[in-house]
């Protein structure tokens, strides 16, 4: 099974552990991830803040390249890249004139045949159906699933999960034997791109969510976005400064959690790259593992 | 040479356009005298054959006007009038009748100024188109051939 | 040969300033069929009208044309004058030479020519006018009020006090509606039940009112003055004649844990229950969905303990036929459950409640006896956050319109809370404050100034629970968008008022139009707020649009007066300018071919199928028949009829074609 793969800057740069864990998990489930040839930067926040055409051309080129390479389904682990690519896909599908403009700019035609999966959708489709048989060590921990700002918004374009109290990542954790806690900061901002310019604000925003996670007894925070990971992990000292207390809970990518559950080693999921050392306490295995159910008050599907 | 004064018949509904034309009068707004009004309870009552009768009797232009959609006093007579107009228009256009001579409007009871505007615009349009001889000649020639016992 | 009398009015100078009235009269007098043509200064004056009456007698006129102002002005005046002069009033028409001629054109020959054209057109039309008699429709002097809330109660009492019989149908076991659930009403802070229950009792005891509770409308037939309604009396499992209302059964029922609808889920009730202590009628009903006997076949304790043996487990629903002349719809509204805003946590956190639930907490006969307590642990909240517009004015997730009453009841809630919990702090997150009624703005000011309610202009983004408290995160836009975080003990959502459950079905049964929000449609939003487009059916209260109690009561009285006006005569007189389907002698019977296209387009459902039968009873033809009681005379069916079998009296094909021809030919 071959799928296209768009790493983006982060998976090749500051978040190698996300790439490593994703590849290793995919391999165990018979999925070969093929990097889109000659891919370019997706533009991220910078492009769509400056120039609309640029913000559509950069992802447009990526999609055109994927299509040309015959990769009709691509996995985009980084939430920001996923957002840009999906929004671009949507806008080009809606507006033929725009599609022609962008085609001229990038010098390639894009027919709109590429399907974009975020990491959760990828896990849902290719991993979860067979995960129970492959789990060798239940990920028996209380964890806070952090979705960040981009994974589930804007709902009417992404049509993925729900904006308030999303459940899909929690679902993955449950399937690997984990215990996702109900907490209040699932989609609150971590500080995003202020990581460099205003690290103190990252300390405050990420600190607020860290306080809630700690108070509710989280052993780790699960993420699906390299930006979130970086703010919660690399900027831990700023967070601790804001909270005025030391915190040691690690930040783990969802793919790393899955990897651990199916028996990958710490090195194979890339824990060595983390700033905050990953130390998870082993819980005594009990027969009746209580998984707290969160009361759902709206359907998960799109209306 | 005297300027051509078109003869225009207006088929209007009592509740909106007729009242709107009354308001034009009350407001003393002046407009062209070429248009004469025939009152109907609702534009839904207007059998579009009446329009052709008007042309056959020498009208150069026609105005049909009623309540705005959703405001019809009888809830949706004007929607029926509109539907009829959509089809009738295509039919008579195909038959060679000049549909630019017919003006279909919505004028509400509060739009006194608008009625004057509709009248003036239609008069000028029809004036430029000139007298409408074609239809009248065809219609009258048929009358001539008709059996006169139907008087 | 016709004998038309033409009277050209000068209207002082209004017409004669630009139109040569004498010339008009003179030219018209030459037309064949005109017996008399004259001009006069003021036709509508007494002497003017006398001239017409005398002329009718003197010249034996069979038609009158008054060339003057707009018929919208004086047609009734001149028609009445003609009637007094002995001429059928529908043989009188007006030619509009003022609004459509003298006032809008300068003094020129063309203006006078136009006036002549207009008068000539009406003369030709009147030659083809037929004498018509007003239509008389019998009226059943009994009204039906559907809905027993405050609007229904007011309407029923007003109509009954005017001397007419009323049948009130209420679908719940008791009347009272939402007003009976309220604790106090704004702006007076009157105890809601104290002012309502005397009225409820009056309804039950009024000799002219028949109250049928726990019943719904099954179907409707007929037309104004002559409605036939089938009402389904749902089985209460009770013989009402034997039941004394002692309430013993409700105390002995073992099945006590059913969420109480009256308490909005904050309390429980048994399976055999009276909705609230002041219910009218004060007799219980059995909730068949939850009763142990009906679901499992066991128990029957209520039957055993009833001192009069009134329980009837096998009582079926009963359908009754009721004939009424008018119907008033007062079915009220409902409060939309705010669970479509998952970020507010309604349904997830017990201490997030809606406005009506707060009313129950505040109410002295409520689940907490009027003490404001948190539903989760029964503690008295020290900080309560009220979120206004939780569902209204929101095109993205909620409803677009404003629910009108929430700003006022939120202020009221804040005040009630503060009156009961002196050391507590109420907060209100609002977008705008809509306090447009009498003493309303002053009321809100009291909440802010006297009761120290903290009003914060901004919306709330999330409510979540932490350590037993509800963290409310919002923004204060008047403080430059400063983020506000409040640790609340209780959160109250001011939810949207929406159309009641079943409103659409009822509207379809009654042929009443409704809008996209399922509120019933009024005949004209400005000038006919209590009538519908269906003759004989009136509206009152929140079923038409969200409204507060004074407006509902006013509308109910308005609707009642319309009903009384309808009942003021034994017969309804209507203008005879209606459509009729041609009828001929046998064997043709009619030009109508029975296609019934007309029936589909009539906005008033006025067209019926009439079967023509032969002597043995076999149906020969089915023809269209227009009900003279319902037809409003729009003429849509006339223009639509393919066989040209329908004509509109007053605007017949004959008349209208003649007008066209006369207008264009001198």
The predicted-structure confidence for A55-69, as pLDDT tens digits, reads as follows: 999 999 999 999 999
| pLDDT confidence of residue B82 | 93
Nearest to A43 by CA among A97, A6, A5: A6
Contact between chain A and chain B (3 or more Cβ pairs less than 8 Å apart): no
Whether the CA torsion C192, C194, C198, C204 is positive or negative: it is positive
Contact of C159 with C166, CB cutoff 8 Å: yes
In a domain, C653, yes or no: no
Residues C593 and C622 in one domain: yes
Q: Which of A164, A212, A215 sits opposite C342 (nearest CB)?
A: A164
Q: Which of C342, C464, C467 sits opposite A297 (nearest CB)?
A: C342
From chain C, pick out residues whose CB is under 8 angstroms from the CB of A181.
none
Q: Could you tell me the CA-to-CA distances from A74 to A34, A161, B30 in Å, in that order?
A: 9, 19, 71
In a domain, C507, yes or no: no
In a domain, C660, yes or no: no
Residues C372 and C415 in one domain: yes
Give residues with Cβ within 8 angstroms of A40, minimum separation 6.
Answer: A58, A61, A62
Query: What is the nearest CA distance from C657 to chain B, expressed in angstroms?
Result: 7
Is the model's pLDDT at A242 over the cut of 50?
Answer: yes
Structure tokens at A115: 């399907």
Is the model's pLDDT at A295 over the cut of 70?
Answer: no
Whether the CA torsion C434, C440, C442, C447 is positive or negative: it is negative
In whole angstroms, give the CA distance from residue A46 to residue A81.
Answer: 12
Structure tokens at C262: 């009256």
Nearest to A231 by CA among A210, A215, A212: A210
| pLDDT confidence of residue C221 | 84
DSSP string, C192-204: HHHHHHHHHHHHH
In a domain, C337, yes or no: yes
Q: What are phi and psi of B39, to 5 degrees?
A: -95, 140
Q: What does pLDDT average to over chain A?
A: 90
Is the model's pLDDT at A85 over the cut of 80?
Answer: yes
Residues C381 and C475 in one domain: yes
pLDDT 10s digits, A143-201:
999 999 999 999 889 988 888 889 999 999 999 999 999 999 999 999 988 998 999 99
Contact between chain A and chain C (3 or more Cβ pairs less than 8 Å apart): yes
Query: What is the nearest CA distance from C103 to chain B, expressed in angstroms?
Result: 5
Q: Is B73 on the interface with C (CB under 8 A)?
A: yes
pLDDT 10s digits, C492-504:
999 999 999 999 9
Least confident of A9-23, A214-228, B59-73: B59-73
Q: Is A162 on the interface with C (CB under 8 A)?
A: yes
| pLDDT confidence of residue B146 | 58
| pLDDT confidence of residue B145 | 67
| pLDDT interval class at B74 (50, 70, 90) | confident
A2-118 and A136-273 share one fold: no
Is the model's pLDDT at A300 over the cut of 90?
Answer: no
Query: What is the nearest CA distance from A164 to chain C, expressed in angstroms?
Result: 6
Nearest to C414 by CA among C486, C355, C457: C355
In a domain, C226, yes or no: yes
**DSSP H or E segment with residue C259:** strand C258-259
DSSP string, B100-126: GGEEEEE--TT-HHHHHHHHHHHHHHH
Residues C365 and C478 in one domain: yes
Residues C360 and C494 in one domain: yes
| pLDDT confidence of residue C611 | 92
From chain B, pick out residues whose CB is under 8 angstroms from the CB of C72.
14, 18-19, 22
| pLDDT confidence of residue C467 | 87
Quick one: DSSP state of residue B15? I
Domains contained in chain C, number: 5
Q: Is A298 on the interface with C (CB under 8 A)?
A: yes
Neighbours of C665 (CB within 10 A): 11
Contact of C492 with C391, CB cutoff 8 Å: no
In a domain, C546, yes or no: no
| pLDDT interval class at A293 (50, 70, 90) | low
Report the alpha-carbon angle C7-C8-C13, nearest 5. Answer: 145
SS3 for C98-151 is: HHHHHCCCCCCHHHHHHHHHHHHHHHHHHHCCCCCCCEEEECCCEEEEECCCHH
Structure tokens at C64: 């009158």
In a domain, C208, yes or no: yes
Q: What are phi and psi of A212, to 5 degrees?
A: -65, -40
Q: Which residue of B has its CA nearest to C110?
A: B33
| pLDDT confidence of residue A302 | 43
Q: Which of A165, A212, A215 sits opposite C342 (nearest CB)?
A: A165
Domain coordinates in residue numbering, chain A: 2-118, 136-273
In whole angstroms, give the CA distance from residue C509 to residue C525.
Answer: 23
Q: What are phi and psi of A73, to 5 degrees?
A: -130, 125
Q: Stretch B24-31: mean pLDDT, rounded?
A: 92
| pLDDT confidence of residue B150 | 47
In whole angstroms, give the CA distance from residue C385 to residue C52.
Answer: 75
Query: Among B11, B38, B116, B140, which would you mutate to test the C interface (most chain C Cβ atoms within 10 Å of its Cβ)?
Result: B38
pLDDT 10s digits, A115-133:
999 999 999 999 999 998 9
Neighbours of B58 (CB within 10 A): 19
Q: Which of C114, C638, C656 sits opposite B36 (nearest CB)?
A: C114
Q: Which of residues 258-297 of A touch C (CB under 8 A)?
A: 294-295, 297
Residues C100 and C8 in one domain: yes
In whole angstroms, give the CA distance from residue C532 to residue A93.
Answer: 46
Whether the CA torsion C72, C77, C82, C86 is positive or negative: it is positive
Q: Do C634 and B31 touch (CB under 8 A)?
A: no
Domain of residue C89, CATH code: 3.40.50
CA dihedral A211, A213, A214, A215 (to 10 degrees): 80
Whether the CA torsion A52, A53, A54, A58 is positive or negative: it is positive
Nearest to B106 by CA among B66, B58, B55: B66
Classify domain B8-148 at the CATH topology level. Rossmann fold (3.40.50)
Q: Do A298 and C340 touch (CB under 8 A)?
A: yes
Contact of A66 with A4, CB cutoff 8 Å: yes
- Helices and strands: H and E segment counts in chain C: 17, 34
In a domain, C297, yes or no: yes
In whole angstroms, give the CA distance from residue C609 to residue C623.
Answer: 6
Nearest to C162 by CA among C551, C560, C530: C560
In whole angstroms, give the CA distance from residue C431 to residue C387.
Answer: 10
Residues of chain C with pLDDT under 70: none
Three-state DSSP class for C471?
strand
Does the domain formed by A2-118 have CATH 1.20.1050.140?
Answer: yes
Whether the CA torsion A45, A48, A53, A57 is positive or negative: it is positive
Classify domain A136-273 at the CATH topology level. Rossmann fold (3.40.50)
| pLDDT confidence of residue A285 | 63
Q: What are phi and psi of C245, to 5 degrees?
A: 75, 25
| pLDDT confidence of residue C90 | 95
Report the alpha-carbon angle A155-A160-A165, nearest 5. Answer: 80
Query: Among B3, B10, B23, B33, which would you mutate to test the C interface (most chain C Cβ atoms within 10 Å of its Cβ)?
Result: B33
Query: What is the nearest CA distance from C93 to chain B, expressed in angstroms?
Result: 12
Q: Do C347 and A297 touch (CB under 8 A)?
A: yes
| pLDDT interval class at A301 (50, 70, 90) | very low
Q: Is A215 on the interface with C (CB under 8 A)?
A: yes
Query: What is the nearest CA distance from C62 to chain B, expressed in angstroms?
Result: 22
Q: What are phi and psi of B37, to 5 degrees?
A: -100, 140
| pLDDT confidence of residue C72 | 87
Q: What are phi and psi of C472, to 5 degrees?
A: -105, 120
pLDDT 10s digits, A4-48:
999 999 999 889 999 999 999 999 999 999 999 999 999 988 898
| pLDDT confidence of residue C614 | 86
Contact of C601 with C631, CB cutoff 8 Å: no
In whole angstroms, give the CA distance from residue C610 to residue C613.
Answer: 9
pLDDT 10s digits, C251-293:
999 999 999 999 999 999 999 999 999 999 999 999 999 999 9
- Helices and strands: H and E segment counts in chain B: 5, 4
Q: Which of C104, C513, C656 sits opposite B29 (nearest CB)?
A: C104
Maximum CA pair distance of chain C?
Answer: 99
**DSSP H or E segment with residue C485:** strand C482-488
HSE, CB side, 13 Å, CA atoms: give it for residue C408.
24
Is the model's pLDDT at B151 over the cut of 50?
Answer: no
SS3 for chain A is: CEEEECCHHHHHCCCHHHHHHHHHHHHHCCCEEEECCCCCCCCHHHHHHHCHHHHHHHHHHHHHHHHHCCCCEEEECCHHHHHHHHHHHHHHHHCHHHHHHHHHHHCCCCCCCCEEEEHHHHHHHHHHHHHHHHCCCCCCCEEEECCCCCCCCCHHHHCCCCCCCCCHHHHHHHHCCCEECCCCCCCCCCCCCHHHHCHHHHHHHHHHHHHHHHHCCCCEEEECCHHHHHHHHHCHHHHHHHHCCCCCCCEEEHHHHHHHHCCCCHHHHCHHHCCCCCCCCCCCCCCCCCCCCCCCCCCCCCC
Give residues with Cβ within 8 angstroms of C348, minimum separation 6.
Answer: A294, A295, A297, C342
Give residues with Cβ within 8 angstroms of C19, minimum separation 6.
Answer: C97, C101, C102, C111, C112, C115
Domain of residue C610, CATH code: 3.30.70.3270
Domain of residue C563, CATH code: 3.50.50.60
Q: Which of B14, B38, B116 sits opposite C660 (nearest CB)?
A: B38
Is the model's pLDDT at B71 over the cut of 80?
Answer: no
B78-87: Cβ within 8 A, 24+ apart: B78/B13, B78/B42, B78/B43, B78/B44, B78/B106, B80/B44, B80/C601, B80/C636, B80/C639, B80/C640, B81/B42, B81/B43, B81/B44, B81/B46, B84/B46, B84/B48, B84/C639, B85/B48
Domain ranges, residue C305? 235-316
**DSSP H or E segment with residue B21:** helix B19-26
| pLDDT confidence of residue C254 | 93
Query: Among A208, A297, A299, A300, which would you mutate to test the C interface (most chain C Cβ atoms within 10 Å of its Cβ)?
Result: A297
From chain C, pick out residues whose CB is under 8 angstroms from the CB of A162.
342
From chain C, pick out residues whose CB is under 8 angstroms from the CB of B84.
639
């Amino acid at each position: 099974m071959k799928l296209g793969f768009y790493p983006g800057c982060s998976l090749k740069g500051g978040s190698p552990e996300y790439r490593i864990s994703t590849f290793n998990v995919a391999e165990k489930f018979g999925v070969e991830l093929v990097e889109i040839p000659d891919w370019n930067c997706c533009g991220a926040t910078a492009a769509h803040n400056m120039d609309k055409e640029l913000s559509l051309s950069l992802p447009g080129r990526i999609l055109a390249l994927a299509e040309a390479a015959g990769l009709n389904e691509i996995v985009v682990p980084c939430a920001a890249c996923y957002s840009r690519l999906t929004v671009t896909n949507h806008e080009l599908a809606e507006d033929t004139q725009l599609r022609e403009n962008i085609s001229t700019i990038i010098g390639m035609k894009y027919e709109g045949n590429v399907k974009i999966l975020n990491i959760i959708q990828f896990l849902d489709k290719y991993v979860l159906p067979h995960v129970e048989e492959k789990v060798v060590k239940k990920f028996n921990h209380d964890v806070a699933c952090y979705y960040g700002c981009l994974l589930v918004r804007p709902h009417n374009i992404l049509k993925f999960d729900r904006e308030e109290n999303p459940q899909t990542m929690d679902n993955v954790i449950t399937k690997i034997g984990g215990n996702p806690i109900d907490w209040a900061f699932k989609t609150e901002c971590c500080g995003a791109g202020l990581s460099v310019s205003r690290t103190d604000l990252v300390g405050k925003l990420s600190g607020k969510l860290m306080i809630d996670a700690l108070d509710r007894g989280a052993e780790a925070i699960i993420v699906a976005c390299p930006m979130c990971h970086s703010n919660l992990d690399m900027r831990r000292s700023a967070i601790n400064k804001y909270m005025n207390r030391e915190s040691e809970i690690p930040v783990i990518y969802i793919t790393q959690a899955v990897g651990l559950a199916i028996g990958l080693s710490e090195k194979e999921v890339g824990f060595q790259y983390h700033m905050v050392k990953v130390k998870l306490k082993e819980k005594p295995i009990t027969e009746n593992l209580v998984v707290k159910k969160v009361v759902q008050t709206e359907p998960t599907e799109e209306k | 040479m005297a300027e051509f004064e078109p003869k225009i018949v207006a088929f209007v509904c009592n509740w909106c356009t007729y009242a709107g034309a009354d308001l034009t009068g009350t407001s003393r707004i002046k407009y062209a005298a070429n248009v004469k009004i025939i009152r109907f309870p609702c534009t839904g009552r207007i059998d579009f054959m009446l329009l052709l009768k008007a042309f056959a009797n020498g009208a150069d232009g026609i105005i049909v006007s009623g309540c705005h959609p959703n405001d019809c006093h009888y809830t949706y007579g004007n929607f029926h009038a509109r539907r009829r107009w959509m089809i009738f228009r295509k039919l008579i256009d195909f038959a060679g009748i000049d549909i630019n001579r017919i003006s279909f409007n919505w004028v509400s009871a509060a739009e006194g100024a608008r009625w004057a505007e509709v009248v003036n615009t239609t008069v000028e349009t029809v004036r430029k188109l000139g007298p409408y001889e074609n239809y009248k000649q065809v219609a009258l020639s048929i009358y001539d051939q008709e059996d006169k016992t139907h008087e | 040969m016709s004998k038309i009398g033409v009277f050209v009015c000068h209207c002082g100078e209004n017409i004669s300033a630009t139109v040569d009235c004498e010339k008009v009269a003179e030219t018209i007098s030459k037309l064949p069929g005109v017996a008399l043509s004259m001009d006069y200064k003021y036709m509508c004056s007494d002497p003017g009208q006398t001239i017409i009456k005398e002329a009718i007698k003197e010249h034996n006129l069979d038609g009158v044309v008054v060339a003057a102002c707009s018929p919208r002005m004086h047609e009734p005046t001149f028609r009445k004058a003609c009637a007094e002069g002995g001429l059928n009033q529908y043989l009188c028409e007006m030619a509009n030479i003022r609004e459509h001629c003298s006032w809008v054109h300068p003094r020129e020959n063309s203006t006078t020519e136009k006036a002549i054209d207009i008068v000539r057109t009406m003369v030709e039309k009147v030659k083809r006018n037929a004498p018509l008699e007003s239509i008389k429709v019998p009226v059943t002097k009994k009204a039906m009020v559907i809905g027993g809330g405050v609007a229904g109660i007011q309407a029923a009492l007003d109509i009954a006090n005017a001397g007419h019989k009323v049948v009130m149908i209420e679908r719940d076991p008791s009347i009272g509606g939402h007003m009976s659930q309220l604790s106090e009403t704004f702006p007076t802070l009157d105890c809601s039940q104290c002012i309502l229950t005397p009225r409820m009792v009056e309804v039950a005891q009024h000799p002219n009112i028949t109250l049928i509770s726990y019943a719904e409308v099954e179907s409707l037939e007929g037309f104004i003055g002559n409605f036939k309604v089938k009402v389904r009396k749902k089985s209460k499992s009770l013989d009402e004649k034997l039941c004394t209302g002692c309430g013993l059964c409700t105390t002995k029922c073992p099945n006590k844990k059913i969420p109480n609808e009256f308490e909005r889920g904050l309390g429980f009730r048994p399976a055999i229950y009276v909705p609230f202590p002041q219910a009218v009628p004060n007799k219980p009903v059995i909730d068949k969905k939850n009763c142990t006997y009906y679901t499992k076949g066991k128990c029957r304790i209520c039957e055993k303990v009833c001192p009069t043996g009134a329980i009837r487990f096998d009582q079926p629903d009963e359908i009754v036929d009721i004939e009424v002349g008018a119907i008033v719809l007062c079915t009220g509204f409902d409060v939309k459950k705010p669970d479509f805003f998952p970020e507010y946590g309604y349904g997830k956190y017990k201490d997030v409640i809606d406005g009506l639930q707060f009313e129950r907490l505040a109410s002295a006969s409520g689940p907490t006896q009027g003490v404001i307590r948190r539903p989760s642990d029964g503690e008295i909240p020290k900080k309560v956050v009220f979120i206004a517009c939780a569902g209204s004015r929101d095109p993205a997730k909620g409803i677009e319109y404003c629910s009108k009453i929430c700003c006022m009841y939120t202020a009221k809630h804040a005040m009630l809370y503060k009156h009961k919990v002196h050391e507590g702090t109420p907060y209100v997150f609002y977008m705008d404050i809509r306090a447009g009624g009498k003493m309303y703005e002053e009321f809100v000011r009291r909440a802010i100034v006297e009761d120290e309610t903290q009003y914060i202009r901004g919306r709330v983004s999330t409510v979540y629970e932490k350590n037993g408290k509800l963290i409310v995160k919002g923004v204060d836009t008047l403080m430059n968008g400063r983020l506000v975080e409040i640790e609340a003990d209780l959160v109250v959502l001011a939810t949207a008022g929406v159309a009641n459950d079943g409103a659409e079905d009822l509207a379809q049964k009654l042929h009443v139009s409704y809008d996209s929000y399922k509120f019933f449609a009024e005949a004209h939003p400005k000038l006919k707020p209590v009538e519908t487009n269906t003759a004989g059916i009136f509206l009152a209260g929140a079923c038409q649009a969200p409204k507060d109690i004074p407006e509902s009561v006013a509308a109910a009285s308005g609707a009642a007066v319309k009903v009384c006006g309808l009942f003021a005569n034994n017969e309804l007189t209507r203008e005879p300018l209606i459509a009729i389907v041609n009828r001929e002698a046998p064997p043709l019977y009619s030009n109508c071919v029975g296609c019934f296209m007309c029936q589909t387009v009539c906005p008033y459902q006025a067209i019926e199928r009439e079967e023509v039968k032969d002597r043995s009873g076999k149906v020969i033809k089915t023809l269209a028949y227009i009900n003279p009681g319902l037809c409003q005379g729009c003429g849509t069916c006339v223009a639509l009829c393919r066989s040209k079998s329908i004509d509109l009296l007053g605007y017949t094909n004959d008349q209208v074609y003649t007008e066209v021809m006369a207008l264009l030919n001198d």
